[in-house]
């Protein structure tokens, strides 16, 4: 299993990385393609009482109960609008299947380390611990997210007892 430390982008190695890109509002994000299990259209979820607002509910995915996280709510990017472009990216993180709702999926891109810059420092005012870098691809700026670290964080409460 790949740990979150291994998913960190190191510009000094010269390695290339593949990312699935998706949109939240006007911003484009990228996650390690190896964490993606499948992509589905957004469908109704079963709501669970007393869950954080960003957890939309659960779905039954071929016998596996999968929590669904709305990334627009999680990243505080305004009220989500669910339309024909809204998709759920099913992830496999820390031996747990988790779904995340995004506004749309763009494509899969390969970025050499030379096209990835380290995340900016914002001090304590903004939490950027899940941003592993900023990639540039065909005039696009892509925010690269360590999705395993985010989904296994204590604040998400989706995975128990993860050694990161």
Q: Which of 4-8, 39-43, 67-71, 81-85 has the least mean pLDDT?
A: 4-8
Q: Find all residues with CB under 8 Å of 136, minimum gap 6, and list them.
A: 115, 117, 142
Say yes or no to pLDDT of 29 above 70.
yes
pLDDT digits (tens, 9 = 90+) for 51-100: 899 999 999 999 999 999 999 998 888 888 899 999 999 999 988 999 99
Residues 6+ apart with CB under 8 A from 97: 37, 61, 64, 66, 90, 91
Task: Provide the whole-model pTM.
Answer: 0.82
In the chain, the domains with their CATH numbers are 18-161 (2.40.50.180)
Where helices occur in 83-164 by DSSP H, the ranges are 147-151
**pLDDT score of 34:** 94
**What whole-number distance in Å separates Cα of residue 50 and Cα of residue 114?**
44
CA–CA gap between residue 120 and residue 37 (Å, rounded): 30
């Amino acid at each position: 299993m790949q740990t979150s430390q291994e998913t960190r982008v190191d510009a000094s190695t010269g390695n290339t990385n593949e990312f699935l890109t998706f949109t939240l509002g006007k911003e484009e994000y990228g996650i390690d393609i190896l964490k993606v299990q499948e992509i589905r259209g957004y469908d109704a979820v079963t709501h669970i009482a007393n869950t954080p607002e960003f957890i939309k509910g659960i779905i039954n995915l071929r016998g596996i109960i999968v929590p669904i996280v709305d990334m627009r709510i999680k990243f505080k990017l305004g009220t989500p609008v669910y339309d024909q472009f809204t998709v759920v990216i099913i992830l496999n993180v820390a031996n747990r299947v988790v779904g995340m709702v995004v506004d749309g999926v763009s494509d899969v891109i390969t970025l050499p380390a030379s096209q990835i810059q380290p995340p900016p420092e914002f001090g304590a005012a903004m939490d950027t611990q899940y941003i592993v870098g900023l990639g540039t691809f065909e005039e696009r700026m892509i925010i690269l997210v360590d999705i395993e670290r985010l989904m296994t964080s204590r604040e998400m409460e989706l995975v128990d007892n993860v050694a990161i």
